[in-house]
Amino acid sequence: MSLPQVSSLTVQELAQKLQQEGSQLQLIDVREPEELALASIPGFQNFPLSQFPYWYNTICQTLDPTKETLVLCHHGIRSARVCAVLINLGFQQVKNIAGGIDAYAREIDPTVGRY
């Protein structure tokens, strides 16, 4: 399976989209539950990368492959991998959040925890 080109979104663009289109977006956080306990952004659904074998076969039924889907992790590495998988599964509007939740906490919302 070849890895497709993954588009990315800055945390500034994410903040703007959350304000304008929040309810129309599919938001995925691929970090582990322990990480979510330290820092999270409301509205994101958790699909931990470590549990990939458990959600891989059902994610197309859980989420809409035609909706804009934004994927988050700590710094943007794990989320980029999941974006590639989603694109290979037929998701049409997938974007990786560059810099992850760490950049979001630094640049957008200092009340979001950092670790």
- Residue range 1-49, pLDDT digits in tens: 556 789 999 999 999 999 997 678 999 999 999 999 999 999 999 999 9
Domain with 44, as residue range(s), is: 7-107
- In-domain check, residue 80: yes
Total domain count for the chain?
1
Catalytic center residues? 73
Nearest to 43 by CA among 29, 32, 63, 55: 29
Q: What CATH number is associated with residue 54? A: 3.40.250.10
Q: What is the spatial distance between Cα 59 and Cα 54, in angstroms, rounded to a whole number?
A: 9
What is the predicted pLDDT for the residue at 46? 97
pTM beyond 0.75: the answer is: yes
Alpha carbon distances (Å) from 35 to 23, 51, 95: 24, 14, 21
User: What pLDDT, on a 0 to 100 scale, did the predictor assign at position 3?
Assistant: 63
Calculate the average pLDDT of the chain: 94
